[in-house]
Structure 1
Amino acid sequence: MSTSSIQATELPPAGNNDTTPDVVDGLAFAKLYGEPLFKLPNDLYIPPDALEIFLEAFEGPLDLLLYLIRKQNFNILDIPMAQVTQQYLQYVDQIRKHNLELAAEYLLMAAMLIEIKSRMLVPSNKTQEGEEADDPRAALVRRLLEYEQMKLAAYELNAMPQLGRDFLHAQVFIEQNTVLHWPQVDLNDLKQAWADVLKRAKLVAHHKISREELSVREHMSSILRRLQDHKFVEFSELFDPSRGAPVVVVNFVALLELAKETLIEITQAESFAPIYVRLAYAPV
C-alpha cells in the first residue's frame, strides 16, 4: 500500500519574463488551495517532511513478523531468528523516526525476539527425565499461528456480501387502494367451514365412566357350575369378550383363585397345544 502527501507553500507572483501561457487548451495546470493555477510557478518548494511514503502498512508487531516470515518462505515451525530479528529491527528503526508512540509497541516485540535469539545461543540443558528442553520459539510460533488463523477468518468474513457495502435492500412504493373489496364466498367454502366446526366439536366430547360391581366369588361359582357339565373345557371358552374387558379380567382372577385352592386343574398335552380346564379329582 503506497500513500503520499504533498504540501506546497504560497508563491510570489511570477516575473514579467515568464512566457508560460495563462491557459492551455482551456484547462488549468493544477489547483492551489482550491484555486485554479493557470501558470507554472518559477520556483516550486516542497518541504522535506511534506512527502511521506509507506511501503507497507501493518496492523501490529505480529502482522509485521508474519509478513517477514511468509515473504521469504520461512518455515514457521523453524524460524531463523537471526535473519528475522535483523529485518524486524531495520523496519522498527524506520518507524521510530516518524512515530515514536507507534514504535513502542514494535519495540516490545523486538525485545522478545532478541531474548529468544539469545536463549537459542545458550546450550540447552536436559531435564531431569532426560528429555530435551522446550524450544524458546514455541510460544512465539503458537501466537503467530493463532494470529494467522484469525486473520484468514477475518478475510473470509470481509469477503462475504455486506448490507450497505455490497448490496442494498430494494424499496418499492406500492400505492394502496382505500376501497375495500370483500371476497366472494363459495358454497363449497361454507360446507368446508361447517365440517371443520363439527370436527372440533367432536374433539371436546365428554367420556363418562360408570361404576359396575363385579364379584370374584360369583365368577368362581359360575366356572365350577360350567365345569360340572363338561369333562374338559377349553381355556378360551371360559371367557366372553362381548361383556367387556372388566368382566374378562374378573373372570380370569376367579380362574386363578380356583387353581390356587386346587379346585380345578389346568392341563396341556404338549407345547403350543390348546389349554384345557377341568375339575380337580377329590381324593377317595
Structure 2
Amino acid sequence: MLPDDAATVTSADPAPAPAVDPVGYARLYGEPLMRMPTDLYIPPDALEIFLEAFEGPLDLLLYLIRKQNFNILDIPMAQVTLQYLKYVDQIRVHNLELAAEYLLMAAMLIEIKSRMLLPSRKSDVEDDAGDPRAELVRRLLEYEQIKLAAYDLNTIPQLERDFIRPAIFIEQSLTASWPDVEPADLQAAWLDVLKRAKLTQHHKISRQELSVREHMSSILRQLQSARFVEFADLFDVAGGVPIVVVNFVALLELAKETLIEITQAEPFAPIYVRLAYSPA
C-alpha cells in the first residue's frame, strides 16, 4: 500500500504543454503556418520580372554607376562593362528580343574600352584629343535629367489615381430663388433689344402728285427777275429726287416751246438759262 504522499504525486495533473506562438511565417486561409512548406512550386517565368525592371540600356548603365557611387565623369569602363555584360547574358537566356537593344549598348561599351586601351599616337592626339567616354557621359546626364523630371511629374496628384472627384447630391429647395439683376445685366439686355430693333426696318412708299405746268410757271417767274440764271440754280435739291426730276422735265418743255434759251459761252463753260428773245 503506497503512502499518502506517493498517492498524492500519482494523482497530480500532467504538466501543461508549452504555449504555441500564434505568429507564424504566414497565414493560409486565416490559419498561421508554423513551418515553411516543402512543396512550393515556383514557375520558371517568375524571375522574368527582374529582367524588365529597367527601361532601357541607359537606365541599366546609370543604375550600375549610381549604385556603386562611380563618378559619372570618370567611368571605370572595365568594371562597368563587365557588370553590364553579365546582365545582358541573363537577358539573352530568357528574352532574346529584349536583349537586342542591350547588345547594341554592350558593343558601344566594348568599343570605348578598346579605344581607351589602345596606345595613343601623335596623329591620333592631333585628330581627336577628346575622351572616348564624352558622348556616353553626355547621353547619361541627359537621360538622368529626363528621368528625374518624369519622377517629379509623377509625384503630382492625378485624377483617378491619387484622388477622385466626389459627386454630391444636393436636394434643391422647392421655393424658387430668383437671382439678383445687376445694372450691367440690364444694360446688356437693352443693347441686345436695340440691336434687333435696328435690323427690322419699315419702308413706307407714298404717292406725290406733281404738276409739270406748275414747275414751268415757277421757272418762268425766276427768269423774269434775272437776265441769266445758272442751270443748277433752277433746281431745289432739298425737295428730293422727284421734285428735281419734274423740274427738269418742265425745263425741257419750256425749251421745246421756245419760251427759254439754254446757252453756253464755250465748251465746258457753265450753262445758263434765259427767257427767249422776242423782238419788239
Give TM-score scaled by structure 2 length: 0.47
When Rg is computed on C-alpha atoms for both structures, the one with the higher figure is 2
Decide which structure has greater helix share.
Answer: 2
